[in-house]
Structure 1
Amino acid sequence: MSAPPSVALNNGLQMPLLGLGTYKLRGPEEVLAAVDAALAAGYRAFDSAAVYRNEADLGRALKQLLPKYGLTRKDVFITSKLGPKDQGEKAMEGALHSLSQLDLNYIDLYLIHWPGTQGLPVADHRNPGNRAQSWATLEELHGQGKLKALGVSNYTPAHMRELMSSCRVPPAVLQVEFHPRLCQAELRSVCDESGVCFQAYSSLGKGELLSDPLILEVAERYKRTPAQVLLRWAVQQGIPVLPKSSNPERIEENSRIFDFELSRTDMERLSSLDCGQKFCWDPSQVA
C-alpha cells in the first residue's frame, strides 16, 4: 500500500491528511478493533488525549497490530494532548504520563488541549500564565526529542497571537472544530500567516451535518456518503481530518476520500453553509 497523502508541518515532519479520532473509544477491545480496521484501511495517524482515557489501550493496540501489517513505530503518526487539569505547573507530569500510558519513546505531535485550566473560571487572569508555563515545558520535552512536534487545540485567534509572540518553538498544528457551518476564516488566516497547520476535528458536526439537505444532494450526485463529502471538502483544501468511529465499516468508508474530487462550484456551495455554528466546546470566553 502506498503512503497516505500527507501535509508537511513547519518543522519538516509529514502528518497524514487522514487520522483516526479516538474520542469516546473506551476499553481495550473497542480500541483494538477500531485500530485494526483503521490500519487495514490505510490510516497511519491516530489522535488521542489524556482526557479520552484511552492512551494505554491505544499504545497496546498499536504494539500488537503494527507487526500484523508489516509496520513499525516510524510508520504511524501519534497525537496526544495535555489535559486541562495539568495546565501550568503540572504540564511536565501530564506530558510524561501520556508518554508512559502510550508506552512510547516519543509522541509525534503533542497539543495543549484547551486554553483554560481545569478548576479556574474561564475569565481567570491566571489562564494566560498557565498556558505559557505549559508551552515552556513542552518546548523542553521537544528539545529532548520526546515530543517531535508541538501544537494547540481549541485556541482562538487571540490565543494564537499571544502564543506566537512569546514561544521559542512555534506551534506546528492548531486543531479545532471545522466543517461547512464553521469555516473559521480568521483562525485559518492566522495559521496561514504563521505557517501553522490548521487541522479539523468534528468534521461531521457530531453527526448533525449528515442530514443537511445540501450535503445529501451533493453526496447523491457523486454517489458518495455524506461523511465522505464532508471529509473530502476539508482535505481538498489541504486540511487534515480526524473522523472517529468504532464501526469497522464506517472507518473503512471514511478512508475513501482520496479517489474523487468535488467541483469548485460544489466546494463553494458547501462553504456557503458557514454560519458560525459550533457543535463542540466554545473557547471564546477563556482569558
Structure 2
Amino acid sequence: MSSGMCVSLNTGAQMPLLGLGTYKLMGAEAVFQAVDAALAAGYRSFDSAAVYRNEADLGRALKELLPKYGLTREDVFITSKLGPKDQGAGAMEGALRSLSELDMCWIDLYLIHWPGTQGLEVTDQRNPDNRAASWAALEELHVQGKLKAIGVSNYTPAHMRALMKSCKVPPALLQVEFHPRLGQPELRALCTKFGVFFQAYTSLARGELFSDPVVLEVAKACNRTPAQVLLRWAVQQNIGVLPKSSSPERIKTNATIFDFFLSDEDMNKLSSLDCGQRFCWDPSHVV
C-alpha cells in the first residue's frame, strides 16, 4: 500500500506506519496542496477527525488526486474520529456524518477521539456510559463494513482496561501523544498485551524538541533533521506516526525515515528524555 512500511492491525488490515496528520490543516486549497505533496512523497495514509473540520476537503482532494498518481480508494488508508459532542447517543449519527463528509463508502479506521463528552465535566459519571454507547455504535458500523477497523484516541490505561472488559470487537488501535519526553510505558505495555496497535500523535512535540541538545546531537551524527530523527525513533519501535505539515518540502522530508537506522545507543539516548511532559491535553482526569 505504501512506499514506507506497513503493519497488520488485529483486523488483518494493512496500515502504513507513516501517515499525514491533518490537524489545523484548514481550507480546500491547503488540504489539496498537502495531499498532493504527500501522495507524491509516497504517503498512503491520511488522518482526519470530525473536530478538524476538514473531512470534506480531504475527501474531495483524494477523489481528484488519486487518479493523478494511478491510485484508487483501495490504495489509501483513511482514519477519522468521532467528535466529543457526539459521544454517547450521537455516536452513530456522528460516524455516519464523517462517512458523508468524506464522501466514501467506508472509513479504514475510525476512533473515539476523546474519553470525555463535550458539555460534561471530566468528573461526570456519565462519561463511562457515553464511551460504552459510542463503542457499541462503532461496533455496529464495523460489522456492517462501513468502518473497517475501530479504535480509540487519548485513552488512559484505566479507560483501556474498562473497554477491553466490555467490548465485543476489540480496538484495533490506540492513538495518543508520544515522543521522547512522553514515553507512555504503561499504555504501550497494555497495547502489547491486548494486541492493540500503538500510534503516536505530536511525535515532533510541536517543534519543542528540535532544539533539544540530545536530539540535535543524534541528528548531527546521522546527518538527518531533528524531525526525521524523532519520527525514526518511533517507527524503529514499530510505532505509527502522523506528522502534520502544510509545507510540501517538509512533507517530503518527513517521509524519508525508512532508509536509515538509529543505533541502540542513540535510541536509548532519546528514550532517556522521558519525563512525562505533555504538549497537548491530559486525558487522565476524565472518569
State the match for 1:215 in structure 2. Answer: 215
Shift, 1:205, TM fit: 0.5
Unaligned runs of 5+ in 2: none
Structure 1 stretches of at least 4 aligned residues deviating more than 6 Å after TM superposition = none
State the match for 2:166 in structure 1. Answer: 166
Letter in 2 for 1:238: N
Q: In structure 1, what is the Cα distance between the partners aligned to 2:95 and 2:217? A: 44
Letter in 2 for 1:181: R
Give the SS at the match of 2:199. Answer: strand
State the match for 2:111 in structure 1. Answer: 111
Give the SS at the match of 2:229. Answer: helix
Which residues in structure 2 correspond to 1:66-85 (within 5 Å)? 66-85=66-85
Letter in 2 for 1:120: L
Unaligned runs of 5+ in 1: none
State the match for 2:42 in structure 1. Answer: 42
Letter in 2 for 1:228: Q
Q: In structure 1, what is the Cα distance between the partners aligned to 2:173 and 2:68? A: 30
Cα gap change, 1:92/1:27 in structure 2, threshold over 3 Å: closer, same or farther? same
State the match for 1:146 in structure 2. Answer: 146
Q: In structure 2, what is the Cα distance between the partners aligned to 1:231 and 1:270? A: 11
Which residues in structure 2 correspond to 1:226-245 (within 5 Å)? 226-245=226-245
State the match for 1:248 in structure 2. Answer: 248
Give the SS at the match of 2:108. Answer: strand
Q: In structure 2, what is the Cα distance between the partners aligned to 1:2 and 1:88? A: 35
State the match for 1:194 in structure 2. Answer: 194
Give the SS at the match of 1:223. Answer: coil
User: Is 1:28 matched with 2:28?
Assistant: yes
State the match for 1:274 in structure 2. Answer: 274
Shift, 1:251, TM fit: 0.1
Letter in 2 for 1:49: A
Shift, 1:3, TM fit: 4.1
Letter in 1 for 2:276: G
1:172-197 Cα shifts (integer Å, max 9, x gaps): 00000000000000000000000000
Q: Check conservation: 2:204, 2:230, Cα contact below 8 A.
A: yes
Q: In structure 2, what is the Cα distance between the partners aligned to 1:215 and 1:22? A: 25
When normalised by structure 1's length, the TM-score is 0.99
State the match for 2:6 in structure 1. Answer: 6
1:102-133 Cα shifts (integer Å, max 9, x gaps): 00000000000000000000010000000000
Give the SS at the match of 1:71. Answer: coil
Letter in 2 for 1:180: P
RMSD of equivalent CA atoms: 0.8
Give the SS at the match of 1:80. Answer: strand
Shift, 1:223, TM fit: 0.5
User: Sequence identity, in percent?
Assistant: 77
Q: In structure 2, what is the Cα distance between the partners aligned to 1:37 and 1:7? A: 23
Shift, 1:2, TM fit: 6.4
When the two structures are aligned, how many residues end up with a matched partner?
287
Q: In structure 2, what is the Cα distance between the partners aligned to 1:115 and 1:156? A: 9
Deviates further, 1-10 or 248-257: 1-10
Shift, 1:4, TM fit: 2.6
Q: In structure 1, what is the Cα distance between the partners aligned to 2:163 and 2:207? A: 32
Q: In structure 2, what is the Cα distance between the partners aligned to 1:204 and 1:4? A: 19
